[in-house]
Structure 1
Amino acid sequence: MNRIKQLFQDKKDILSIYYTAGYPQLGDTVPILESLEEAGADLVEIGIPFSDPLADGPTIQHSGQRALENGMSLQVLFKQLEDVRTKVKMPLVLMGYINTVYKFGIENFAKRCSEVGVDGVILPDLPFQVYLDEYKETFDRYGVSNVFLITPQTPEERIKLIDEKTNGFIYMVSSASVTGAKKGLSDQQLAYFERVSKLKLTNPALIGFGISDRASYIETCKYADGAIIGSAFVKLLGEAGDMHAHIKSFIQGIK
């Protein structure tokens, strides 16, 4: 069974963590993964740095720029991940922009994901219909799930179509904004979470954007299968000190 499916079958209140590959230092990608698994994270989204990250707020933009300056690329990332499955068991997802993947080659990308043990990908600017028409067969052939984002503005018909045509999880963007840690959840956001939960989707759903602490994690878990924390964790990685200890403290503070 696919590691993503297995995770959602075995656990509730999933905590997914996002961070940028090659940040704060080029060689930190796998050590961060190992620390996250040891600390109790359930799923990890590794960001592929890109020069023009449209959906990212200042914290993740900064980490991406630093990672690019460090020399991170898809070639380097796949090289770093070649032996990762001897060290890390949890599901791994790559998140980035279609330009980078298209330049690398769609089939080559899907093949490398399969070879190193990446379970899924999130490409926020990949149009869903283009995925269905041109790329779905390739990703399916290599056993790599594509995860698509929905927002409070996404029509119910489209949410159901995404659910029907994908097999990983649904990424529920909490609000129509860029990434970034925010305090508290609005009544409008809670109403959106409730509306989606009533659709009884086949795929599990994780809520991301603005989830930054234990309180928002617990609240979102009432409406979905778990939450995604990105900017708050990336900010932590930029702080001086023992990174392994920081990661352990951060995850334990959430769960």
Structure 2
Amino acid sequence: MKKLNIYFTAGIPNLEDTTEIMKLIQHSGAEYIEIGMPYSDPVADGPVIQKAHEIALKNGMTIVELFRQLKSVKSEMNIPVVLMGYINPVLSFGFKNFCKECRDSGVSGLIIPDLPPVEFENNYRAILEEFKLNFIFLVTPETSDERIRYLDSLSSGFLYAVSSSSTTGNNAKEINNEEYLSRLANLGLKNPVMIGFGIKNKVDFDKVTEKAAGGIIGTAFVNILLQNKDWKAKGQDFIRSIIN
């Protein structure tokens, strides 16, 4: 069975909705929950998720508040929870303290796109291992086979294969790039490959997961949270429409 990872930004539509959204994702049948930590300059994200970051920050979401919320539902979560964010807020919090809080909050892994692999190896890998946290690197269609293997060797949990080099939410023309998906499938990687960026519906999900372990949906789900007062029902229906 292909695995579905649903991303959303913590603190939207309202500050206290984070835990309800986590429960919704789990109960709807997804296999991963990926939570974006709001940041003032989310350079890898498209306009929808940038807007979500802006709203979340206005709502008062912080790393401290997020950990408080995560701890409140830790005992109810049966699927992996992954945090995605940018390195500056994590360093401001203190990397080791951040990892300890992740462990204590039931977080299983981190995605920090702007953390260089060399810095990861030299300064942070041992800390992540100490707190038993996975770390997921991203690759793109432009990444060479040699570097894909290198990033796969550093990653644990899964390898995040971006379907294009654009920002999140764009209509990625590479989403049906057979050559790219085949190349990833044939590299003999140690981690399962999850495809992200540009997946909006079941057709997209089924297409990219023909040669990958699963797919990651963010912008399409965040749109539901931001645009619908009845986001609980619509969000559940959306996730189930992808899986079924």
Q: Please state which band the TM-score falls in when normalised by the shorter chain.
A: over 0.9
Distance in 1 (CA, whole Å) between partners of 2:87 and 2:172 is 31
Aligned counterpart, 1:244: 232
1:98-117 aligned within 5 A: 98-117=87-106
Aligned counterpart, 1:76: 65
The structural deviation recorded for 1:155 is: 1.4
- Partner of 1:103, secondary structure, is helix
- Partner of 1:93, secondary structure, is strand
The structural deviation recorded for 1:117 is: 0.7
Aligned counterpart, 1:3: none
In the alignment, does 2:22 pair up with 1:27?
A: no
Letter in 1 for 2:81: L
Answer yes or no: is the 8 Å Cα contact 2:138–2:162 preserved in 1. yes
1:106-135 CA distances to partner (integer Å, 9 max, x unpaired)?
000110000111000000000011000000
Aligned counterpart, 1:253: 241
1:48-74 CA distances to partner (integer Å, 9 max, x unpaired)?
010011110000000000000000010
Q: Percent sequence identity over matched residues?
A: 42
The structural deviation recorded for 1:190 is: 2.1
In the alignment, does 2:121 pair up with 1:132?
A: yes
Distance in 2 (CA, whole Å) between partners of 1:217 and 1:111 is 34
Answer yes or no: is the 8 Å Cα contact 1:181–1:232 preserved in 2. no
CA RMSD of aligned residues (A): 1.3
CA distance 1:72–1:198, shift in 2 (3 Å): same
Aligned counterpart, 2:157: 168
CA distance 1:214–1:181, shift in 2 (3 Å): farther
Letter in 1 for 2:70: L
1:200-225 CA distances to partner (integer Å, 9 max, x unpaired)?
10100100000110000000110110
Out of 190, 207, 213, the position equivalent to 1:219 is: 207
Answer yes or no: is the 8 Å Cα contact 1:173–1:207 preserved in 2. yes
- Partner of 1:46, secondary structure, is strand
Letter in 1 for 2:54: Q
Aligned counterpart, 1:6: none
- Partner of 2:61, secondary structure, is coil
The structural deviation recorded for 1:156 is: 1.1
Aligned counterpart, 1:47: 36
Aligned counterpart, 1:144: 133
Answer yes or no: is the 8 Å Cα contact 1:181–1:212 preserved in 2. no
The structural deviation recorded for 1:138 is: 0.2
In the alignment, does 2:170 pair up with 1:198?
A: no
- Partner of 2:57, secondary structure, is helix
Aligned counterpart, 1:67: 56
The structural deviation recorded for 1:186 is: 5.5
Answer yes or no: is the 8 Å Cα contact 1:17–1:230 preserved in 2. yes
In the alignment, does 2:198 pair up with 1:210?
A: yes
Out of 21, 26, 45, the position equivalent to 1:56 is: 45
- Partner of 1:212, secondary structure, is coil
Answer yes or no: is the 8 Å Cα contact 1:97–1:125 preserved in 2. yes
Out of 171, 194, 197, the position equivalent to 1:182 is: 171
The structural deviation recorded for 1:181 is: 5.1
Q: What is the total number of aligned residue pairs between the two structures?
A: 243
Q: Could you tell which deviates more after superposition, 31-40 or 236-245?
A: 236-245
Answer yes or no: is the 8 Å Cα contact 2:163–2:175 preserved in 1. no
TM-score of the aligned structures, taking structure 1 as reference length: 0.92
The structural deviation recorded for 1:246 is: 1.1
The structural deviation recorded for 1:157 is: 1.2
Letter in 1 for 2:37: I
